[in-house]
Chains A and B, each alone.
Chain A
Amino acid sequence: MTILNRYILSLAVASTLTTVVMAAFGEKRLDSYFSLFVIEYLVITLVFAYLSPPARRLLSWVAVALFLGFGALVVSKAVQILQRPPS
């Protein structure tokens, strides 16, 4: 199995396990799942440190897209908190 296939398989296994475990715990917030997927992606990409330079360059664009998604989640949460009426 090539290193690229091992990398994709690791991500697929990690994201499936995360979904199953979090569903078993009754998690209903989609942003929690997304945050964990982003963390898994960053950790597994770091573990596969010896991917070829072109692959790393292209994966960094995926990381930017995921980070932007994560940033949008954080901003929306912050807006929700700020708009909440004072108790």
Chain B
Amino acid sequence: MRSRQDPYIRTGAGLLLAGGLLLPVGYLVLHSAPYGALGMSLIILGAICLALARARPPIPPEFGRILLETGLENTGALVEELGLRSRAVYLPSSLTAGPPQALIPLHSNGTMPNIAHALPKRLVARYGPGAEDLGLLVTTPGSRALAALPYPPGASPQEAEAALSAILVGMADLATGVRVSQSGPTVNVTVFGTHLSYAHGHAWLHQCLGSPIASIVATVMAEAMGSPLAVEAEEVKGSRHTITLAMVK
């Protein structure tokens, strides 16, 4: 049950009360349609605030940020302790035993791993026949966000753009817009109005997985295209964040 201290509930109740008083007083007593209309608009806004109070996330945003930081710290510490420097490969759910995940190869010889079959649901997974073909299989924020989408993302840039907008703009409220374009094996994603800091510590982790926004984008695009992807480059200009993804053959 929502607390009465919820700002949306308090605002909604206040607007309903003010509108409920202003509508009859303005229209019936003062015989003024504009005052009556003002009361009516306050009632509508109050009802909307009360409705939206139930749609707010159960975890306060500040606590969510603390949880995100904790998760990044832990994964960053693990990656740093293992001395991993190779870039992660974002896998669609068809190549994992569950939701889409990211594979960070334990050994890197400069080439991206070639993954042909679904990997087992383990932290350390073997992805090839070689002795060194081992990697860390980690769940990313995008993996969880995809599960909350009412429909799976489509393969076309427009469909992927819609899925990314639903996650980054609607669900996570991290950006104000997304644009996706594809040229051959390269996908360019521009995220507008990003609120999440790019270089927020965790430099080691960023080198492997990319920034949190790039990680979400890569997970969603890998699932949309049904193909492994890697974050090739990231560029931040003001609040515009450009991410270049490359298909891993």
Contacts and interface: CB of A to CB of B under 8 A. Distances in A.
Interface residues of B, number: 28
Interface string A48-74: 011111110111011001100000000
A61 B173 contact: no
A62 B47 contact: yes
A39 interface: no
A3 B54 CA distance: 15
B45 A11 contact: yes
Contacts, number: 91
Interface stretch (B29-37, B81-89, B203-211): B29-37
Classify the secondary structure of B's interface with A: helix
B56 interface: yes
B55 interface: yes
Interface string B34-58: 1011101100110111011011100
Interface in B127-184: 148, 150, 165-166, 169-171, 173
Given A22-B34, A23-B34, A50-B170, A30 B40 contact: yes
* For the complex of A and B, 9 pairs with smallest distance between CB atoms: A50-B170, A33-B37, A23-B34, A55-B55, A15-B41, A50-B169, A58-B51, A54-B55, A28-B33
29 contacts: A3-B169, A3-B170, A4-B52, A4-B55, A7-B52, A8-B48, A11-B45, A12-B45, A15-B41, A15-B44, A15-B45, A16-B38, A19-B34, A20-B34, A23-B34, A30-B33, A33-B41, A34-B37, A37-B40, A37-B44, A41-B48, A50-B170, A51-B170, A52-B171, A58-B55, A59-B51, A59-B52, A62-B47, A62-B48
